[in-house]
Every structure is written in structure tokens, then in C-alpha cells.
A and B are shown apart, each in its own frame.
Chain A
């Protein structure tokens, strides 16, 4: 197998069997993320109950890195307090931006370590996280 670094098995598993992916339900708060450069286009939906993410889903299209990252995000954020999720989004943003080193923001995103070394794929990784961050930040304001 080539390119073990970028396409780790865990990442490919999230791509092939994305968690919490499917149509968003009525009443969910939604935020869209799109990258016209590569045509990636996803939408994140959440249900917040008492400042906690009760439910989180996403749908749309994207490359393996984009879909896997969104899938990992839903697993990492489901059930989390909304402000912790915002912090996690920010941590993922800075961890990806640094390309190497630093503390892994959450055990569930460790498999993105190989992808973050490739600057060209940063938008793929961060598309869903940025959408979630916008959604939660706007809601908290």
C-alpha cells in the first residue's frame, strides 16, 4: 500500500463508513462549508440542548480527507458541551496549521496527523470543523 502517512487505515475507514452522515433532520441548526477549488461541499447540522451538542450530523460531498475528518468530528463532538466543541475546533485548526508536532487535540482525530503534513489538504480537513465552529460561535453570540 502506498502513502500510509496520508491515507491511514483509520482515515480510510471513516471515509468508507462515515459516521453520522446522512440527511439533516428538520429543526437542526445548520452551517455549510464549501471549497470551490475542489468542489467539496458539506453541511453540518446540530441539535443543542442546554449548551450541549445532543446530536450532530453532516451530509455532502468531498474527498476522502474531507469526509473522514467530518466523520471524526461528529464522533468527537457528540455529547460535548458547546463551548468545549468550539475550543476543540480551534485546537484542531491550530494543530493542522502547524503541520507537525503539538498535542493531538482529541484521540479521535489522531488519524489526520498524516494529512495535516500536506498543506494542500488543510482545507479538506478543516471544512467541517470551520462550519461547526461558525455555527456554534454564532449561536453563542
Chain B
């Protein structure tokens, strides 16, 4: 897939938007304003093309056949693994395990590493900002092992209370699992510091990077964490695919968690020996077209001039927050100094479900509800919020449309 070179002088949002055919959609007779990117990003034409091309010209199973198509599919599949390894600055493609998404990546660590290493009385530390996907797998593990789940409290501004975190680390902590960026509030957590302190305390770390990877470069080696989980569909790739990055020595020490084809070395009815990572954790036929399409999505991201794209995203989000502060009857939920990709709010005028429905009627797609973060909603005393979340193709015009929409909602309810 040839990467397009973007103009590095000034970021041209219209050029980027033109790569996403769905952005030309009309919703209820109005131009679509897509502000639900934290739920899933849209897909550029190059990703759509690669999926079609795969089924037209490459379709075969991977690592299994000696024939022409099997070789094509396997090469494409493994090339994408190498691309993702490079994207995350992993220490080799063997550290990348394909999964169905961030949720499965976290469950893999909980079920494989966790069941082997967590015992009675051990502590697992998560944060009050987590998505249910980074809460429930640990709760299940704690219940099974009689371990304890500890939660880093969230401040009124929607940031983690790092002093309280330090205190939690005085306990018998075996693992710390936190999000890089909060899906509900957009708060960027100080993961470098979180990881450093966890390592000093002798704990393993897992970072949920689902909301980070589309917005910032991630260098897992510089970060120093042990595991990093992500989803392809929040990174301009297809749904149903994700990845787990793990330090190879750790992955190698972990037992398999699902049995089947691919993950074995030798099988007899008496004894089965297991393949090496990453294949040990990839039982069954994987999402081959999805993996190859993620490669195309990474090409797309690589084609953007990082600095100007990042400055553009920051400008749009800052503009949105500034408009929100001037909007009467709007209350921001969370007001972190470091914020990326999303803004959450409630309106005095109405329940989030009504606000979402009325915005939808104006062509504006936002997410409403608890954002799979019920404990966080309880922390702020709201049943849910309205969340506007952004990708590189959003513009100030989208923000203007949102606030025009909000004014109409206020007169209506």
C-alpha cells in the first residue's frame, strides 16, 4: 500500500477528510458531523481497498499451506505484525499478539499471566477512570484467587490522585493496570510515572492504550511498561481486531489461555507442547484480512505529518473546550490539564439520552451514557454524560456544528 505524503507545511484537514468516504454521509438529511471517534474511528479508503483486495486476490489461511495464496496471506499477515511492532517501537514482532481487541488483550493477561502469578492476599491496582474492560477481568481474577482490587481515586478535575497511588503501592501489589487516556473524559494519565513507581514497587504493569494510539506516538520501550493493549478499530482499522504487546520474556513465561490450532508445537493424546509466543496465544484462524487492513491503517497514520496533525487535533479539542466553557447550562465532567481526544459534559437542559437524540436529528453523532465506566459516572454523581470525541479529520467547523446543535437542544427541552 503506497503511503500518501501529506503536505507538511500546514495541516490540510480537507485532504485527510477526502480519504474517508463515510464522512460525506448525510444523517437525517443533514451533513454528518462524526464526533464519536472514541467509540470507533472511521476507516480511510486505503483500509477499505485492502480488505476487498485481500478477499479478491490473497484469501487463504496463514502459516498452514504450501501454496501460492497461503504464502501471500501469510506474508501480508506477518508484515502487518512487523509494522505494528515498529509503530509501538516493540523489541521485535514476536512481542505482538493478535487478539479480538483491547478487551481480549486484557483478558489474556488476566487469564494467563494473572492466574499463574496472582495469589491470595495479593493486590491488583487499577484506577477510577477505567473502562469496564480494565475493571471486570481483574475483578474476576481477584474473586478466583482471593486477591484484592485497589483503585486509584479520581480528583474533581478527572485526574488520578498520584499521592493516593503512592500509598497503594505500599501494599503487596503484583500488578498495576491503568488506561493511557480515559475513554470517558479524555484525561491523559501520567503513565510514565505510574509505570516507574510500579516497577520500583516490584509490580508488573499493563497499559490500556485503546484511546491513545490514534492520537499520540507510543514507544513501549521508552514507556517501560510490561504489557500494552490496543484495538485496531480505534486506529482507523477494522473492528474485531486488537493486539497485545508484551515483553518477550514475560510472554514466554506465560501459559496458553485458549487451546486449538496454531498455538501448539506437537499434539498427541498423551501430551501437547506449546508453540512459542506470539503464536502460543493465537489459537484458531485469526482475522487475517483485519490484520492486513490494520497494516494499511498504520500506513495511513504514517502518511500524516505527525507534528502538524497533532497540533491540529489539539487545536480542535482546545477550541471545543473553550466553547464549552462559554456555553450556559453546560457542565464539563472532568477538566484535566492533559486531555486528548474527548470531552464529556452534561446539560442542565436535559438528560444525556435526550441531548444525544436531538443532536443526532441534526446530523451530529456523539456518544451518550456511561461510556462503560459506571464507577467513574458514580464518582461524578451523574447517570451518564454526553461525549464528543475527535479524530484527525475533525475540524473547528465540526465543533461549531456541535454548539449550534446544543443551542437548539436547549431551546427544545
Q: In the bound complex, how far is the Cα of B357 from the Cα of A6, in angstroms?
A: 9
**Smallest CB separation, B66 vs chain A (Å):** 49
Given A2-B362, A3-B358, A64-B350, CB of A38 within 8 Å of CB of B368: yes
Q: Is the CB of B412 within 8 A of A1?
A: yes
Per-residue contact bits, chain B 360-395, to A (CB 8 Å; 1 contact, 0 not): 011000001110001001000011100000000000
Q: Is A61 an interface residue (CB 8 A)?
A: yes
Which residues of B sit under 8 angstroms from A37, Cβ to Cβ? 369-370
Which residues of A sit under 8 angstroms from B352, Cβ to Cβ? 38-39, 63
Nearest CB to that of A41 among chain B residues? B383
Which residues of B sit under 8 angstroms from A106, Cβ to Cβ? none
Q: Is the CB of A38 within 8 A of B358?
A: no
Q: Is A58 an interface residue (CB 8 A)?
A: no
Which residues of B sit under 8 angstroms from A6, Cβ to Cβ? 357, 361
Please tell me the number of chain B residues within 8 Å of chain A, measured between CB atoms: 20
Q: Is B408 an interface residue (CB 8 A)?
A: yes
Given A37-B369, A38-B384, CB of A63 within 8 Å of CB of B361: no
**Smallest CB separation, B50 vs chain A (Å):** 32
Q: Interface majority SS on A: helix, strand, loop or mixed? A: loop
Q: Is the CB of B351 within 8 A of A63?
A: yes
Which residues of B sit under 8 angstroms from A62, Cβ to Cβ? 351
Q: Is the CB of B382 within 8 A of A2?
A: no
Given A2-B408, A36-B374, CB of A61 within 8 Å of CB of B383: yes
Nearest CB to that of A2 among chain B residues? B361
Q: Is the CB of A64 within 8 A of B413?
A: yes
Q: Is the CB of B350 within 8 A of A39?
A: no
Q: Is B354 an interface residue (CB 8 A)?
A: yes
Which residues of B sit under 8 angstroms from A12, Cβ to Cβ? 413
| Residue among A2, A39, A66, A124 with the highest chain B CB neighbour number at 10 A | A39
Which residues of B sit under 8 angstroms from A40, Cβ to Cβ? 351, 353, 383
Q: Is the CB of A39 within 8 A of B361?
A: no
Number of A-B contacts (CB under 8 A): 59
Q: Is the CB of A36 within 8 A of B357?
A: no
Q: Considering the complex, which residues of chain A in the window 1-60 have a beta carbon less than 8 Å from any beta carbon of chain B?
A: 1-3, 6-7, 12, 36-41
**Smallest CB separation, B402 vs chain A (Å):** 15
Q: Is the CB of A2 within 8 A of B412?
A: yes
Nearest CB to that of A37 among chain B residues? B369
Per-residue contact bits, chain A 58-92, to B (CB 8 Å; 1 contact, 0 not): 00011111100000000000000000000000000
| Residue among A64, A118, A124 with the highest chain B CB neighbour number at 10 A | A64
* Option from A3, A7, A39, A120 in Cβ contact (under 8 Å) with B383: A39
Q: Considering the complex, which residues of chain B in the window 206-255 have a beta carbon less than 8 Å from any beta carbon of chain A?
A: none
Which residues of A sit under 8 angstroms from B408, Cβ to Cβ? 2
**Smallest CB separation, A20 vs chain B (Å):** 20
Given A1-B412, A63-B351, CB of A39 within 8 Å of CB of B369: yes
**Smallest CB separation, B145 vs chain A (Å):** 27
**Smallest CB separation, B188 vs chain A (Å):** 26
**Smallest CB separation, B219 vs chain A (Å):** 37
**Smallest CB separation, B300 vs chain A (Å):** 31
**Smallest CB separation, A125 vs chain B (Å):** 12
Which residues of B sit under 8 angstroms from A65, Cβ to Cβ? 353-354
Q: Is the CB of B350 within 8 A of A3?
A: no
Nearest CB to that of A64 among chain B residues? B354
Q: In the bound complex, how far is the Cα of B350 from the Cα of A7, in angstroms?
A: 13
Which residues of B sit under 8 angstroms from A61, Cβ to Cβ? 351, 383
Q: In the bound complex, how far is the Cα of B354 from the Cα of A1, in angstroms?
A: 15
Nearest CB to that of B355 among chain A residues? A63
**Smallest CB separation, A121 vs chain B (Å):** 7
Per-residue contact bits, chain A 99-134, to B (CB 8 Å; 1 contact, 0 not): 000000000000000000010110010000000000
* Option from B354, B362, B374 in Cβ contact (under 8 Å) with A63: B354
Nearest CB to that of B361 among chain A residues? A3
Which residues of B sit under 8 angstroms from A63, Cβ to Cβ? 350-354
Q: Is the CB of B412 within 8 A of A7?
A: yes
Q: In the bound complex, how far is the Cα of B374 from the Cα of A64, in angstroms?
A: 21
**Smallest CB separation, A48 vs chain B (Å):** 31
A-B contact pairs, 20 of them (CB 8 A): A2-B412, A36-B374, A38-B352, A38-B368, A38-B370, A39-B377, A39-B382, A39-B383, A39-B384, A40-B353, A41-B383, A61-B351, A63-B350, A63-B352, A64-B350, A64-B351, A64-B354, A65-B353, A65-B354, A66-B351
Give residues in A with beta carbon < 8 Å to B: 1-3, 6-7, 12, 36-41, 61-66, 118, 120-121, 124
Query: What 9 A-B pairs have minimum CB-CB distances, sorted nearest first?
Result: A39-B383, A63-B351, A63-B353, A39-B384, A3-B361, A64-B354, A63-B354, A38-B353, A38-B369
Beyond the given pairs A7-B412, A61-B383, A63-B354, 4 more chain A to chain B contacts, judged by CB atoms under 8 angstroms and listed by A's residue number, are A38-B352, A38-B384, A39-B383, A120-B357
